[in-house]
Amino acid sequence: MEFKDEIEKFKSIITESNNIVFFGGAGVSTASGIPDFRSKDGLYNQKDIQFEKYAPEYLLDRKCLKNNPKVFYEFYRQKLDTRNIEPNITHYKLADLEKIGKLKAIVTQNIDGLHQKAGSKNVIELHGTTAVSRCRRCNKEFNEEYIKNTTGVPRCECGGIIRPDVVLYGEQLPSNAIFDATEAIKSADTLIIAGTSLSVFPAAYLIYEFRGKNMVVINEEQLESVKFADLMIIGNIKEVFEQLEV
């Protein structure tokens, strides 16, 4: 088996830890079939004639929602539809680690709701969720279906534009999520960072709050910014979590 020693070390870290926090990104959900942003098959590398003239970041920027709303909603409907997607082994094992009291929080940059679908309770969503949308004028809440089942720019009966509860580039992160994530990471004895390029800020700064014993990084690509980690597993998250006996 590849990376056998690293897996053994990972297992013993889990055994000795009682306050684990998981900090994850889009790579956690690629095994469920949702492309990430920056991998070779990621959304930013897909050639799509309809959206080609726009920079990938622009399509999820508040400026796109403001100035090109039709393009924004078309991209959102086509590329961020996670309604029929199921959690994978990593989501389930993390839920199990929470159940047995070892894992205290999941801090996620993902907006797909898969951790909750797998049964995790304390999930801190830094970038919001596609599960809920809201009218920008009257704040009425809509479920996931609403935007996905309409065309053009979705509007509330009050006339306001309905937008998903996700944090777009250029927008602030929810302050309660930042607070909860900071508290959780600060008090953790082990921080597992997985499936994130750590290139979206301010979310990525949060890992520097960690004061505990073991920082574990699991990623398909080497990440220069966390070279100081106690354990770095360069590999597929799914293959690592498959080996964990919880």
Judged by CB under 6 A, the residue of 87, 154, 164, 195 near ligand CNA is 195
Closest to ligand CNA by CB, 107 vs 184, is 107
Applying the rule CB under 6 A, the residues between 203 and 222 that interact with ligand CNA are 219-221
Q: Which amino acid is at 16?
A: E
The dihedrals phi and psi of 220, each to the nearest 5 degrees, come to -70, -30
Task: Pick the closest to residue 60 from 212, 171, 186, 222 (CA basis).
Answer: 171
Task: Among 3, 9, 19, 39, indicate the residue that binds ligand CNA (CB under 6 A).
Answer: 39
Identity of the residue, 164 or 189, whose beta carbon is nearer to ligand CNA in the bound complex: 164
Is 115 part of the annotated catalytic residue set? no
The sign of the torsion formed by the CA atoms of 147, 132, 64, 48 equals negative
> Is 5 exposed, middle or buried, given 0-12, 13-18 or 19+ CB atoms closer than 10 A?
exposed
Q: Is 94 in the site for ligand CNA (CB under 6 A)?
A: no
Q: Verify binding: residue 165, ligand CNA, rule CB under 6 A.
A: no
Instruction: Find how far residue 171's CA is from the centre of its chain.
Output: 16
| 109 near ligand CNA (CB under 6 A) | yes
Is residue 31 a contact residue for ligand CNA (CB under 6 A)? yes
Dihedral of CA atoms 9, 14, 16, 19 in degrees, nearest 10, equals 140
Q: Which of the residues are catalytic?
A: 127
The residues that touch ligand CNA, with contacts defined as CB under 6 A, are: 25-27, 29-31, 34, 36-39, 42, 109-112, 127, 195-197, 199-200, 219-221, 236-238
